[in-house]
Amino acid sequence: MNNKTIFIIQVLSLSFIWVLFTGIAVWILNLIKVSLALKDAPDASVAISIVAIPVFFTLASVLTYVFIGLQRGRKE
């Protein structure tokens, strides 16, 4: 496989992680929406989401930072 294909797959896998984490965030927000609609402990849901969602996005950001950093740090 040539380097171009590899690079495209790398970018795709990284985007997949972003999609996955966005999916988790959407899922949690959806659960909050349902709990608000049904008045079923929305306070607990909001509290948990405040903790959970940033964790995932920090992780994805760290990965992206490393990927971009490594690409920029190559000697050419």
Partner 1 sequence: MERTSVTPHPDAALLRPIENPGRGFYYIVAILLAVIFYTMYIYVRQLKYGLGVTGMAQPVTWGFYIINFVFFIGISHAGTLISAILRLSNAEWRRPITRMAEVITAIVLAIGGLHPIIDLGRPDRVLHLFYNGRLQSPLLWDVCSITAYFTASTVYLYIPMIPDIAILRDRGVRPRWLYNFLSWGWQGTKRQHEVLDRAMNILMVMVIPIAVSVHTIISYIFAMTVQPGWHSTIFGPYFVVGAIFSGIAAILVVMIIFRKVFRLERYLKQIHFNYLGILLLIMSLIWFYFTFSEYLTAFYGHEPNEMRVFWYKFTGKFAPYFWGMVICNFVIPVALLSNRKTRTIPGILVASITVIIGMWLERLAIVVPSLANPRLPYPTGIYVPTHTEWMLFLWGVSVFALGYVLFARFFPVISVWEIEEGREESAHIVGERIKSYQPDMELHEPEEKASAEAAEPPPPDDEGGARDET
Partner 2 sequence: MKWGMVIDLQKCTGCGECVAACKLENNVAIVEPEESALGRSMLWMDMLTMYEGEYPLLRVRQIPRPCMHCDHPPCTKVCPVRATYKNDEGIVAQIYPQCIGCRYCMAACPYTVKSFNWYKPEWIKENRSTKNPDVSVRPVGVVEKCTFCHHRLQKAKEQAKYENRELLEDDFQPACVESCPTGAIVFGDLDNHEHHVSHLKHSPRAMMLLEDLGTEPKVIYLREVD
**Residues engaged in binding partner 2 (CB under 8 A):** 38, 40-41
Structure tokens at 3: 């380097």
Q: CB of 19: closest distance to partner 1 in angstroms?
A: 13
From the list partner 1, partner 2, none, pick the one residue 39 interacts with, judged by a Cβ distance below 5 to 8 Å according to partner type: none
Asked if 67 and 35 touch (Cβ cutoff 8 Å), the reply is no
What DSSP string describes 42-74? HHHHHHHHHHHHHHHHHHHHHHHHHHHHHHHT-
Q: What angle separates helix 3-37 from helix 42-72, to the nearest 10 degrees?
A: 170
Q: Which does 45 bind (CB under 5 to 8 A by kind): partner 2, partner 1, none?
A: partner 1
Which residues make up the interface to partner 1 (CB under 8 A)? 1, 3, 6-7, 9-10, 21, 24, 27-28, 30-32, 34-35, 40-41, 44-45, 48-49, 52, 55-56, 58-59, 62-63, 65-67, 69-75
